[in-house]
Every structure is written in structure tokens, then in C-alpha cells.
Chain A
Amino acid sequence: MSPRCSWLYRLPGRALLGGIRTLPTTRCPGLHRSLTSSAHPPQICIVGSGPAGFYTAQHLLRHHTQAVVDIYEKLPVPFGLVRFGVAPDHPEVKNVINTFTQTAHSERCTFLGNVTVGRDVTIEELQTAYHAVVLSYGAEDKRLLGIPGENLPGVYSARDFVGWYNGLPDNRHLSPDFSAETAVILGQGNVALDIARILLSPIDLLKKTDITQTALDALSNSRIRKVWLVGRRGPLQVAFTIKELREMIILPGTRPANNPSDYQNLGDFIKDLPRPRKRLTELLVKAALEKPGEKEALRRSQSDREWGLRFLRSPVAVLPSEDGKKAAGIRLSVTRLEGNGENAVAVPTGETEDIPCGLILSSIGYKSVPISSSVPFLHKNGIIPNSMGRVQDAPGLYCSGWVKRGPTGVIATTMTDSFDTAQSLLEDIKSGALNYSENRLGASAIRELLLLRGIQPVSFSDWEKIDAVEAARGAEVGKPREKILDPEEMLQLVCR
């Protein structure tokens, strides 16, 4: 048995079935399910097929021998930010897709793509068809800067820009302007570093990734040579992690351009920091202050692109070009810190500084949106109010992932919190708090509704057809895949 298939066989129920998959689950789910369970199984649906959706499903399927878990996804393709967020030059992060695929292959799991919950089918309809509904629909929107000029051409949100280079259908026409020499990224998180890498990486490296051809063509003609990453707080408050910083420091063809004075007085603080922050700060200091070895010095001198971190600068306005038609710079308010450590707050000093630039990327975070007026939502924090994944005052409703916690945390964090939510649901089944004695029709009821509404759900085997076409197109040009950008084209492929 290949090691990659192993945990699949740990799914209760799957083991009994061995490798025989006679019934395509997506076509006649009811028939098969009635064979595996005696009473009515708990019918659970999950909204969203990112890491939160798949890890919640995985835990439910592993720890309940009969539960049926259907995953609804707005796009025709699964995996959420693993496909549309994770940087193309980080293929190893996308290995989680193998585990998700095994979950989707479980006889008790059905993927229904191309179904936007809240539009094509309502939460109330899902609640009628299922015993429990888990909301795992992520953080689809972006935080806004709320400053004058934010809407000028030349200013893009990280969300849209990342969506563009990763083939998110909504962002395929973005066409960012790479005609200037300097780009400014606002924010100092891992997304900001992802973007800096994409802007500065040698094109030959990107060519071997699954970045879209459109992005590759545009980046091949890019004139961007300098990227500033601007933070409103100091070097001790950067939000990115050390692995990503290390990668940036050694990025071929680029050299770091940091201001030594930003780092000179950090020595005293470093020793008392917790280990992760300590090592991160040490690396920042080393990159800025330590004289590079001969080889590294040579590499840096031969690099024609550079990047640097700017601290204690908070954006106040985008400066328009003379004709007012596009961005030509950014005005930053100089700040100082009140308090220290992680909780230090940036306050304006009254001084400002202008940086001329033709490209501005606002990478200050993602944001979740309410899905229905019937689901409670905390606008201030951008999350669904919940306790251990149980939606507040809404029995039978659960949530996991970024919509539960807010838009921070790596896939491993999302995994843990999704397991927690699944655990709460399982406890409720066990305690009787979640009653499933009454039969629910699950996917078959929803399919009927969708049929009436002219919506064609995409099954997991349909996705595998799309996947195969993308992989084949990629192979022709030496890439792991060439993503299809137009959802219509995806749907045509599966209708054949």
C-alpha cells in the first residue's frame, strides 16, 4: 500500500468496503448509504472546501462510523486557499491536498462544487435537509485601508493580487500595472512576503510553478526593481514567520536593503523574547547588521533587484499622478510605539513621509463576510460568534476555520480548530443535544432544489477531470499544472 493512501483505510466504514468503489457516490448517494447503516445516519453538511471544511469532514468521518458528510463549495474546484492562496513557489504546502482527496473519496463524503450557499441554496434549506450544518467558508473579503486614493488604478488589495496570480476566477482580469520601478506593500505579514517574492523572483523560478500563464507573461515584462514592505509598528512586531523571512533573504537575484539603525538597539530586548520571536529578530538583525561573507557579498552585488522593510510608518493617503489617473506614491505617517512587545500600539508623531511608487499592494489582512441574516455575525471581529465551534444561540449550526477564528493562522492552526469543532459536534451527537432520530434527506433533497434552479453541481470525480486537464496542460510547458481561469470552461469540461 502506498503510504499516501494509508489514513484512508483508517476511516471506519472504508475499511469494510476495501478498494471496491462500485457505486459512484455522487450519482446515487442514498442507495449506498442505506447499505452501510442500520438506523438513519447523522446527515451533516459543510459549507466551504478549504482546509477547515476538509479537516472538519476528516475528523467527523474518522470518529463516527456512520455519519454522512457532504461538502458544498461555491467554486467548481475544491481546496480554498490551498489552491488560491498558498504561493505557487510553495508546492510542498499543497501536499495537504493528498489527504483532502482521500477524505473526498470516502464513500460517506460527497463534494458538491459550483454551489454558492446563501445564493443557490439557503442556510435554512440546508438545515431542513441535514441534521447539522458546519460553516467553514473562510474569509472571502479584504480589509480596507480607508484612506484617500485607495481606489486609484495601481492600488490593489493583496487578496485580489494573490487571487490573480493563483488563478482565482474573479480576479482573472486584474491586469496589475508593473510599469514603475518601485512597489510598496503595506503590511508585514506572510502574505506580504509571498507577494514580495512573486514580484522579485527570477522568472525562470516561477516558470516551474503553477502560477498562471497570464501572471507569468505580465511578470516577465515587469519593470519593478525595488519592493518596500511597510509596517506601522517596529521590527519586534513583524507578523511574518522566520521560514518565510529566511527564504526572502536568500532569494536569488535580489538583495536586502535594510536600514541598520532600525536594528541597532534591539540587542537588549532580544534575550528576553520567547524563542520564536527571538530567533526571528536575531535573523532580522543578522541580515541587516552582519557583514556578509565573500560569496554572499558577491551575490548581493550582482543582484539587480532589492527589497527592504520600513518600520513605524502608517499609510495616510495614496498620492495621485499629475493627471490624477493613477497612483504615483504613498504618504505615510511616521509613528512611534506606545507600550512594548506584541501589544505595542503605533501612534502618529505628526510627521509624514512620501514614497514615490507606481504599484501599491495593501496586505493588511482578509475579512469574513456574513452568509445569511439568519446566522449571527460579529462585524467588529469579522467572525461568527461561537463557543468551541458551536454557533451561539443556533443549535445544529457549527463553524470552523477562518470564519470561526478570524483570518490568521497557518493550515496547521486551521486543522486544530477544525478538529475541535468536529469534536464538539460529535459530543453533541453523543449527548443527544444534536438529535438525529428523524430521517433527513441530505444531498438528494438539495440536488432536487438545485436542479429546479438550473444549478449543476460539480462532483469530486468531475473535479478530477478538471485536475487531469490542468495537469496535462501544465506538463506541456514544464509546470505542475496550468490552472483553468474561466469557470465556464471548467463546467464545459465536466459536461462532456
Chain B
Amino acid sequence: MAMIDLDKMLEKIKDTQWSLSDVDWDAPGAELITPEQWPKLKAFMADLMWIEHVGARAFAAMAKKAPDDTLRQIYTYFHAEEQRHANAEMALMKRWGMLEDGELPEPNNNLRLVIEWLDRFADDQPIYVLGTVVPMLEIALDGALCKFLLDTVDDPVCHQAFELINGDEARHLGVGFSVMEMQGHGRTYIDLVRMTAQLMDPRLILGIASYFPLLNKMRDNIVEMGLPEEKLYEAMRKFEKIGGRTEDGRRNPWFQIIKHHGRFVVDRKKRFYHAPIDALVKVADLIPRKAFPAVPSWVKEITYQPTA
């Protein structure tokens, strides 16, 4: 994949919009969900939908930090598109009888931590931090998870919705990797040191403390659904392959950091990594609901209703 022309990409994004009302959410096929799939699928969808939603918030932060107007507009669209994915996934949950009228699925505690972090600190992060973490999340959680889902669920409406979603995701990844290369392009040694110096920022450390367990938590979810975790790892290795295909991409120190982290995640033998992170997942589960502050108001914007 060569560097893409962002202006053309923006035009393409504008020309390939869809909305929830393009899908008939009452079409037959819902009955193809087996009773034994149902509870696991419910937990999985709730997490997936929340991941889309926090991804949306990350794009909102990136829009504020975009180096030029085209990228700012692209991220503004991606922010809304991730929200659309969350809305569409909620509409699927509603279709499958997983939501009461007006109900919003509960985010798990790991996600709650991520939401809290994004709300407080995301806007202060330099673009190259989120610009690298987000493609990793997209390729691993979003892109890969959706594929597993389609392997197990036969409902045609689900397939129709995810065809639309995956079309968007392909563009997100195209832009994501292109920007990572741009960030590495022509950087001097001093720039690179400055980019990594960010690691010392306590606000970012908090972010890391919520991002790492999220990956492990999703791995557990996948295993729970009876899917081979190897597939998630395959996707994460793809990040390494695409992100590192050019000199510029490899020079981006944040690519290097996330890549190495990815290698830890996919290797269960790295006990010194997984033991404490798994512990964090468990600890997060123990945090009482009341300990969290009220959810930020952007969280309440999601809806399964195609019209308002």
C-alpha cells in the first residue's frame, strides 16, 4: 500500500456514506441465533459496541490535533462513523432481543476505565500516540473481531450490517497506516526522542494502564465464545507487517512501541507481562460501580433507533 492521497480519500469518504435506515432491521433471520450462542453473543456484542464507541471518542481527540484541515475533516467523519458502528451494533442487539426499550448496554469495567481516561486525557495526547494506538485497536479488535463474528453468526442482516461497517473500516485502516508513515517521515533523532519522551507523562501511563487490560479482556471474550485466540493474534501481527513495510513507518517510534507490545500480547509465555495485566483485568472487575464518576454525556448519545 503506497501513501494515499488524503484529499481523494476525504472525497471518497463523503461519497460512501450509509445510514441505519438503509438496513431493514426487522427482516427475517433473527431466529438463526441459537439459544446457546445467545448469552455469549450478548456479552460479546456489548463489548464490541463499546469498543466502537471509545474508538469514536479517540477519533474526536485526533480531529482536534490533526496537522491539517483535510485530516481534521477525515477524523471528524471517522468519529461519526465509529458512532454509526456502535449504533448499528446496538440495533443488532435490539433485533436479537438483547436490549429492552431504551436500554443502553453496560460497559464492562475495563471499558469504563478507558472511557474515563479518554474523557479526561485523550484531548491532551499528541496525535502520534493515538495515531498509533487506534490503528492497532482497529485492526485487532474491530477488524478481526467482526470477522470472527461473521464466522459464527448466520443471520443475513448481521452480514449486511457488517459489510457496511467493514467498508468503513478498510478506509480507517488505510488512513491510519498512512498517517503512521507520515509521522515517521523525515524525523530527526531529536524528534524521535521527543515523541517517545511522552511515555513519561503520567496521564499517558494511566492510559496504558487501561488499554493493556482491554486487549487481554477481549482475548478472554473470544476464548469464551469458542473462537481460537490465534485469530486475534494473526490480526495483531498484520499491524506489524503493514505498519513496518516502509522505512518511514518503521522510523515512527510509536509504531515500534506498539509493535513490541503486540508481540507480548500474542505470546502467552511472556508471564511477566500477562500475569500483572490479567490481574488488572480481575482487579478492574472488582471495582464497585459506584466508584466510577457519572458517565460523560457523550456516552449517552448512542442509539439503536434509525430515526430521531
Tell me if chain B binds chain A. no
B: residues with CB less than 8 A from A are none
A: residues with CB less than 8 A from B are none
